[in-house]
Amino acid sequence: MVTLAREVLANIQERGGTAHYTVLADMMRIGRYYAQLICKLLGRDDYIVVDAAGRCKITPKGENFLKEEILEEILSE
What is the per-residue pLDDT across 31-46, written as a single tens digit (0 to 9) for each? 999 999 999 999 999 9
Structural domains present in the chain: 3-76 (1.10.10.10)
What local confidence, expressed as pLDDT, does residue 27 receive?
94
Q: What angle do CA 46, 52, 53 make, to 5 degrees?
A: 115
Kindly tell me if the per-residue pLDDT of 1 is higher than 70.
no
pLDDT mean over 22-26: 97
- For β-strands 18-20 and 55-58, DSSP reports them as antiparallel
Whether 52 has a pLDDT exceeding 90, the answer reads yes
pTM above 0.75, yes or no: yes
